[in-house]
């Protein structure tokens, strides 16, 4: 799928996908991902006393997902739209791959940035394939190259290239449209992706599915992604780093999810993250990372959990089983070990999730 | 341009030609035109509005109502008038018949669409409140349908005024069209003068009907798009279902 | 002006040549004499129909060009809309009889096809302008946002996204305008000796010769419906995604 010369990203034991953790092992080896720097970014609207964003600085390392999260009025969407110059910058600078975005023609810049919005904005008058081919066509790619790329992207996003390619957006379900939107944004292999509440308009069940698929995708393509959401749980799930914005465009904290959950910077962050942040932290790790107890004899059929389950879900299962030990099984159903309340409780006492 | 100057003088003289025996005055001919228009519209309204509204209320007859409009738009009024004269001879009654035939379709079509397309949720809510069909029509559907119905009425009225003047070409005398049909006597300035009067008459009728529409539109609706004047002359159509005036 | 001169070769009731019974139908002025139609198709009806088509096509084409230009302008600069609507609405309100006559004395016009075309074009402007502008405006905001975000220039957005999506409304406007022009062009016979209005007026002046009248009238209606149907087909061909929506 990649052109020659790209090392396979390391993600640990690849037979155990970890849908609940973000991808950030090792340096990003994907050349088509660039570092994004916001340097004292300021945005003022004429006629308004307070700036929408007074002074925002953060750096997103290449290949990482940075989630901008906060309540409405926190300026998260504004910040995102400043990056691709959909909104003009009032002050400060933004650098992509070291080069200021102000140096390039906005339309040229945007062709280098993948853009996914909440309502997606698929062109109703074009087929799925034509939609995906939009930026490559604007860039003047060869039609055969475009065709190949389109097929590749459809497969990558889990759509049947033969069937879906010729359909029109009106004939797709919400989830399918969302995936086409992501494929379209990836088409020209941009170094940066901007996503504004891309899964916000989807029902909760499909939203989880789409989130998982995007994380799988990101594990393969390793783009630099700026992801905007108002949902702290989505932020924790999707982000390598999270930037929590307060009303008025102030950066409250910018850190890895574990850090934010363990050490919230202030009262606002603590409240925004939620009183159950210790449990949320446990949602970041799976049973696979634990040293499970050895099974003794035959295990009952109830109370089984896959080894890919999060520690949080395991805790929940143990509690609902009234404290009885959990039987942990692998993908084929074979017993891997036992987990007891004491074992899980030992984690809480230590206060640190295991090393990832 | 001298012709236009002469035309205004002609108007100033109320349609008389100096040195000639008295002719029907412009005022008289204008009033006659208005009279014919008025009769035709009255008859058409009586026939078409109840029919269109009722069909829209029971949500039946859409195929007929809408295709009636499509066919109507393509009828050359001159031909319809002439056929009327051919079949029935010249006379006010026959002209009125042709005019009614031409005025009824847009009123029915617009009446139908106006009532048919009232938000079904509103009708449902009204039913849930215990209103009878008749009450729903009177209190919910009709007020909301006013702009579109008036659009149809204005379309029809303009069309009737226009066609009334054309009736002179088919031999019926008694409208401003007479002058236009009689260039040998009135010469170009006279014809121009009559044309200016016709145009003015049409614009006045249009403005009056616009005022009437404003008066009839419930206050809440006035704020919405439905109340713009040009919408009535030519409602925005993405699927042709209403007709513009001719 | 009085009725246009008689079309060449048109029979005049009751002066049919010869005393033969072959013209009995015409002399009796029955509703429809097929013989007359078949023998007068090439000298009278067909040329009139052809001229009518030409009149219509030219008027709609010019009207379309003007109104599209104005609509694109209004799309960019919103203030343009109000004055354009005002002017085109007034033009639209003026009854056709008056319109044709008022244009006649203007320099360069007179009794010619140009006068007819100017009048006919002025009736198309309101509809075409409104529909085109509305069509452009009804493009969903998120589609425009996505297009801009992907790096399309304003011109590219217009040509690749907005205009194609505005096509249904534009063609709907073309349908109405075309049918309207076909009907109105019969009056054009007052100022130019062309179109189906000529046999209609001729028939009226000949003691209301029914056959010619009905033949020309039916042809006008048929032409209008045919043009309407043609444009429907054109729309179906140009907008394949609309069918998908219904599916």
In CATH, what number does C52-238 get? 1.10.3720.10
Question: For residue A196, which of A213, A175, A178, A212 has the smallest C-alpha distance?
Answer: A178
Both A229 and A101 in one domain: the answer is yes
Tell the residue number behind the tokens 């008066």, with chain if given. B215
Q: Which of A282, A317, A332 is the last residue of a domain?
A: A282
**For A109, nearest residue in chain C (alpha carbons):** C151
Q: For residues B62 and B81, give the distance between their C-alpha atoms in angstroms, rounded to a whole number.
A: 27
Which of C88, C98, C135 to probe the B interface (max B CBs under 10 A)? Answer: C98
Both A218 and A338 in one domain: the answer is no
Contact residues, B window 190-229, toward C, CB-based 8 Å cutoff = 191-192, 194-196, 198-199, 202-203, 206, 229
Both A234 and A293 in one domain: the answer is no
Is A105 part of a structural domain of the chain?
Answer: yes
Question: Which regions in chain A score pLDDT beneath 70?
Answer: 1-31, 348-356
Taking the CA of residue C152 and the nearest CA in chain A, the distance in Å comes to 6
Among the ranges given (B44-58, C14-28, C50-64), the one the predictor scored with the smallest mean pLDDT: C14-28
Mean pLDDT of chain B: 82
Question: For residue A123, which of A202, A180, A195 has the smallest C-alpha distance?
Answer: A180
Both A104 and A194 in one domain: the answer is yes
**CB nearest to B240's CB, from C97, C99, C176:** C176
Contact with chain C for residue B81, Cβ under 8 A: no
Q: For residues A211 and A204, give the distance between their C-alpha atoms in angstroms, rounded to a whole number.
A: 10
Run of H or E residues at C233: helix C210-238
User: What pLDDT is attached to residue A283?
Assistant: 84
Both A99 and A54 in one domain: the answer is yes
Q: Which of A282, A301, A319 is the last residue of a domain?
A: A282
**In this structure, what CATH number is given to the domain that contains residue A216?**
3.40.50.300
For chain C, give every domain's residue range.
52-238
Question: For residue A86, which of C137, C151, B67 has the smallest C-alpha distance?
Answer: C151
User: What pLDDT is attached to residue B226?
Assistant: 46
Contact with chain A for residue C151, Cβ under 8 A: yes
pLDDT band at B168 (very low <50, low <70, confident <90, very high): confident
Question: For residue B245, which of B102, B108, B112, B122 has the smallest C-alpha distance?
Answer: B102
Contact residues, C window 62-91, toward B, CB-based 8 Å cutoff = 85-86, 89-90
**Segment C84-97, tens digit of pLDDT:** 999 999 999 899 98
Both A212 and A325 in one domain: the answer is no
pLDDT band at B91 (very low <50, low <70, confident <90, very high): confident
Q: Which of A267, A282, A297 is the last residue of a domain?
A: A282
pLDDT reading at C173 higher than 80: yes
Contact with chain A for residue C165, Cβ under 8 A: yes
Average of per-residue pLDDT across C117-139 = 93
User: What pLDDT is attached to residue A14?
Assistant: 33
Instruction: Give the range of the structural domain holding residue A250, as residue numbers without chain letter.
Output: 36-112+190-282
Buried/exposed code over C120-136 (b: 16+ C-beta within 10 A; e: otherwise) = bbbbbbbbbbbbbbbbb
Interface size B-C, in CB pairs within 8 Å, comes to 177
Is A249 part of a structural domain of the chain?
Answer: yes
Is residue A58 a contact partner of residue A254, using CB atoms and an 8 Å limit?
yes
User: What pLDDT is attached to residue A78?
Assistant: 94
**More confident position, C125 or A278:** C125
Taking the CA of residue B127 and the nearest CA in chain C, the distance in Å comes to 30
Q: For residues B69 and B87, give the distance between their C-alpha atoms in angstroms, rounded to a whole number.
A: 24
Say if the Cβ atoms of A135 and C144 lie within 8 Å: no
Q: How much is the pTM?
A: 0.80
User: What pLDDT is attached to residue A198?
Assistant: 92
Predicted-complex ipTM score: 0.79
Mean pLDDT of chain C: 85
Q: Which residues of B touch C86 (CB under 8 A)?
A: 230
Give the neighbor-by-neighbor strand order of the sheet with A113-116: A113-116, A192-196, A224-229, A65-69, A241-246, A250-255
Is residue B110 a contact partner of residue B148, using CB atoms and an 8 Å limit?
yes
**For A184, nearest residue in chain C (alpha carbons):** C150
Contact with chain B for residue C135, Cβ under 8 A: yes
* Angular region, A60: left φ>0, alpha ψ -120 to 50, beta rest: beta
- Number of structural domains in chain A: 2
- Bridge partners for A217 per DSSP: none
User: What pLDDT is attached to residue B244?
Assistant: 33
Say if the Cβ atoms of A124 and C151 lie within 8 Å: no
Q: A10 is written with which tokens?
A: 């390391």
Say if the Cβ atoms of B194 and C176 lie within 8 Å: no
Taking the CA of residue C17 and the nearest CA in chain B, the distance in Å comes to 23
**In this structure, what CATH number is given to the domain that contains residue A334?**
3.10.580.10
| B2-14+26-233 maps to CATH 1.10.3720.10 | yes
Is A202 part of a structural domain of the chain?
Answer: yes
User: What pLDDT is attached to residue C167?
Assistant: 93
Among the ranges given (A338-352, B192-206, C211-225, C230-244), the one the predictor scored with the smallest mean pLDDT: A338-352
For helices B62-74 and C210-238, angle between their N-to-C axes, nearest 10 degrees: 120
Contact with chain C for residue B76, Cβ under 8 A: yes
User: What pLDDT is attached to residue A302?
Assistant: 76
């Amino acid at each position: 799928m990649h052109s020659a010369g790209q090392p396979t990203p390391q993600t640990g034991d690849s037979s155990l996908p970890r849908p609940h953790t973000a991808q950030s092992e090792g340096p990003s080896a994907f050349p088509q991902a660039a570092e994004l720097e916001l340097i004292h970014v300021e945005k003022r609207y004429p006629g308004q006393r307070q700036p929408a964003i007074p002074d925002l600085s953060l750096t997103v390392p290449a290949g990482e997902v940075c989630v901008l999260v906060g309540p409405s009025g926190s300026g998260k969407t504004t910040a995102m739209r400043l990056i691709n110059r959909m909104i003009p910058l009032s002050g400060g600078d933004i650098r992509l791959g070291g080069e200021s975005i102000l140096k390039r023609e906005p339309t040229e810049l945007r062709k280098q940035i993948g853009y996914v919005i909440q309502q997606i904005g698929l062109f109703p008058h074009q087929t799925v394939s034509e939609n995906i081919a939009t930026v490559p066509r604007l860039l003047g790619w060869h039609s055969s190259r475009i065709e190949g790329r389109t097929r590749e992207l459809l497969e990558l996003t889990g759509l049947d290239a033969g069937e879906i390619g010729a359909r029109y957006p009106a004939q797709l379900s919400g989830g399918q449209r969302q995936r086409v939107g992501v494929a379209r944004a990836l088409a020209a292999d941009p170094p940066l992706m901007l996503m504004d509440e891309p899964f916000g308009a989807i029902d909760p069940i499909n939203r989880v599915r789409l989130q998982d698929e995007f994380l799988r995708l990101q594990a393969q393509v390793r783009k630099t992604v700026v992801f905007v959401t108002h949902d702290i749980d989505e932020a924790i799930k999707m982000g390598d780093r999270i930037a929590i914005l307060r009303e008025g465009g102030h950066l409250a904290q910018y850190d890895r999810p574990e850090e934010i959950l363990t050490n919230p910077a202030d009262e606002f962050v603590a409240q925004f993250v939620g009183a159950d942040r210790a449990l949320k932290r446990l949602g970041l790790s799976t049973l696979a990372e634990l040293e499970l107890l050895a099974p003794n004899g035959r295990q009952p059929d109830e109370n089984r959990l896959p080894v890919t389950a999060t520690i949080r879900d395991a805790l929940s299962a143990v509690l609902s089983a009234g404290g009885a030990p959990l039987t942990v099984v692998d993908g084929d159903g074979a017993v891997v070990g036992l987990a007891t309340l004491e074992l899980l409780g030992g984690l809480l006492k230590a206060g640190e999730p295991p090393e990832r | 341009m001298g012709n236009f100057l002469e035309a205004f003088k002609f108007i100033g003289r109320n349609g008389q030609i100096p040195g000639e025996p008295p002719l029907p005055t412009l005022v008289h001919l204008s009033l006659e035109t208005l009279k014919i228009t008025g009769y035709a519209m009255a008859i058409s309204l009586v026939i078409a509005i109840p029919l269109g509204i009722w069909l829209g209320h029971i949500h039946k007859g859409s195929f007929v109502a809408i295709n009636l409009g499509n066919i109507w738009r393509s009828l050359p009024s001159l031909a319809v008038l002439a056929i009327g004269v051919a079949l029935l001879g010249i006379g006010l009654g026959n002209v009125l018949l042709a005019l009614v035939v031409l005025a009824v379709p847009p009123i029915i079509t617009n009446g139908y669409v106006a009532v048919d397309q009232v938000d079904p949720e509103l009708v449902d809510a009204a039913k849930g409140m215990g209103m009878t069909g008749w009450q729903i029509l009177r209190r919910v559907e009709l007020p909301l349908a006013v702009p579109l119905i008036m659009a149809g009425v204005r379309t029809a009225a303009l069309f009737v005024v226009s066609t009334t003047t054309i009736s002179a070409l088919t031999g019926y005398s008694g409208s401003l069209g007479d002058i236009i049909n009689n260039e040998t006597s009135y010469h170009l300035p006279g014809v121009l003068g009559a044309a200016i009067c016709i145009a003015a008459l049409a614009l006045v009728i249009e403005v009056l009907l616009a005022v009437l529409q404003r008066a009839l539109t419930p206050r809440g609706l006035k704020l919405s798009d439905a109340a713009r004047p040009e919408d009535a002359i030519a409602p925005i159509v993405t699927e042709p279902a209403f007709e513009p005036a001719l | 002006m009085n009725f246009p001169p008689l079309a060449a070769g048109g029979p005049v009731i009751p002066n049919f040549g010869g005393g033969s019974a072959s013209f009995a139908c015409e002399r009796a002025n029955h509703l429809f004499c097929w013989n007359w139609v078949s023998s007068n198709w090439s000298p009278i009806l067909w040329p009139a129909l052809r001229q009518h088509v030409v009149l219509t096509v030219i008027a709609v084409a010019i009207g379309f060009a003007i109104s599209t230009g104005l609509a694109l302008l209004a799309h960019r600069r919103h203030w343009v809309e109000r004055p354009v609507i005002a002017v085109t609405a007034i033009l639209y309100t003026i009854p056709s009889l008056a319109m044709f006559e008022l244009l006649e004395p203007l320099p360069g016009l007179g009794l010619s096809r140009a006068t007819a075309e100017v009048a006919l074009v002025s009736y198309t402007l309101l509809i075409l302008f409104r529909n085109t502008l509305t069509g452009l405006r009804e493009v969903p905001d998120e589609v425009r946002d996505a297009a801009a975000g992907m790096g399309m220039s304003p011109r590219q957005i217009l040509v690749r996204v907005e205009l194609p999506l505005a096509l249904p409304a534009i063609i709907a406007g073309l349908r109405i305008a075309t049918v309207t022009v076909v009907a109105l062009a019969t009056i054009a016979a007052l100022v130019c000796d062309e179109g189906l209005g000529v046999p209609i007026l001729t028939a009226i002046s000949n003691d209301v010769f029914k056959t010619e009248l009905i033949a020309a009238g039916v042809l006008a209606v048929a032409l209008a419906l045919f043009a309407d149907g043609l444009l429907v087909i054109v729309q179906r061909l140009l907008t394949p995604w609309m069918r998908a929506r219904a599916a």
